[in-house]
Copies of this chain bind each other. A is one copy, B any other.
Amino acid sequence: MSAAPHFKKLALIGFGLIGGSIARGARLEGLAETIVTTARSAKTRARVAELGIVDAVVETNAEAVRDADLVILCIPVGACGPVAQEIATDLKAGAIISDVGSVKGAVVKDMAPHLPAGVHFVPAHPVAGTEHSGPDSGFAELFINRWCILTPPEGTDPAAVERLRGFWSALGARVETMTPDHHDLVLAITSHLPHLIAYTIVGTADELAQVTESEVIKFSAGGFRDFTRIAASDPTMWRDVFLANKEAVLEMLGTFNEDLAKLTRAIRRGDGEALFEHFTRTRAIRRGIVEIGQDSAAPDFGRPHPQLGKQG
């Protein structure tokens, strides 16, 4: 792996979970001489200034990107187009402009037309996160061993791609390159559909007449609580994801619905063999994920268990 690249000025547009984690990691690893950020609300800007992680918190995006050689939009995908338009004339020639959006086709379509010739547009998606959001939620280790997918448009300067790859590697990420369309299909199944399903089932539980909400919460350790973590993710970010990756999500949803209908039929007919066969097959996938280090081998995600007292 090449040495970590050095940027004179890193500008972050947005300081939520992802922006805040990039800032903390870049600071820790010395990836930029100066880190400047902005945030939409005065309250967030005040909090970021208080945290003291970055060199400056500025009020306008235009001011933030001025003289920056790396600009990263860390905002919901629906906001990327307008912000690209807003900052276009203030971008330094030769700067790398990137983002962290969970959808790439729509972001490229929304941002590219506004960007001036002479800047390097390298869209990126770090596949990492937690259910928390806001300026306090980030941490430097978020990207370690997680993948960051770059989707540079054809003809992008390979040196710019290489510099951004080095940046993400230095944050601990493993970097992969693919087309925006393929990215959007892959993420539709590995991230967007799981979120949609989790949001649905948590909503369903919330609406039931025969089972109270307090019962749902009390007995959630039977499986439900795992879904509530995902369904607690940032609403604005996820609204934008579903609107921006509509086609791929609807396609995966179609396949999911067929499969759910098949399992439902097996339950209705009492077809234990079909259920057993399916459940055995899915067990193997988990092993694959644990083997390549994308999840913990510890039972129950390694959730902490207090000790039994000896005073019984």
- List the interface of chain A (C-beta within 8 A of B): 4, 25, 28-31, 78, 102, 127-132, 137, 139-142, 144-147, 149, 170-172, 176, 185-187, 189-208, 210-211, 213, 215-233, 235-236, 238-240, 242-243, 246, 249-250, 252-253, 255-257, 259-260, 263-264, 267-268, 270, 272, 275-276, 278-283, 285-289, 292, 294-296, 299-308, 310, 312
Decide: A267 and B243 in contact? CB cutoff 8 A: yes
A230 to B226 alpha-carbon distance, docked (Å): 9
Chain B residue at minimum C-beta to C-beta distance from A218: B147
A225 to B288 alpha-carbon distance, docked (Å): 10
Decide: A279 and B190 in contact? CB cutoff 8 A: no
Contacts A/B (CB < 8 Å), 9 sampled: A130-B300, A190-B215, A197-B197, A204-B252, A231-B283, A231-B286, A233-B279, A246-B270, A250-B268
CB-contact partner of A215 in B186, B193, B301, B308, under 8 A: B186
Shortest distance between the CB of A210 and any CB in chain B (Å) = 5
CB-contact partner of A285 in B217, B286, B292, under 8 A: B217
CB-contact partner of A190 in B176, B219, B256, B301, under 8 A: B219
Chain B residue at minimum C-beta to C-beta distance from A271: B243
Decide: B289 and A228 in contact? CB cutoff 8 A: yes
A182 to B50 alpha-carbon distance, docked (Å): 51
Decide: B229 and A286 in contact? CB cutoff 8 A: yes
Decide: A206 and B286 in contact? CB cutoff 8 A: no
Question: A198-B226, A218-B294 provided; 11 other pairs, C-beta below 8 A?
Answer: A130-B300, A131-B286, A186-B219, A193-B201, A195-B223, A196-B263, A206-B282, A207-B259, A229-B301, A231-B279, A249-B267
Shortest distance between the CB of A312 and any CB in chain B (Å) = 4
CB-contact partner of A194 in B227, B289, B303, under 8 A: B227
Shortest distance between the CB of A143 and any CB in chain B (Å) = 9
Decide: B204 and A256 in contact? CB cutoff 8 A: yes
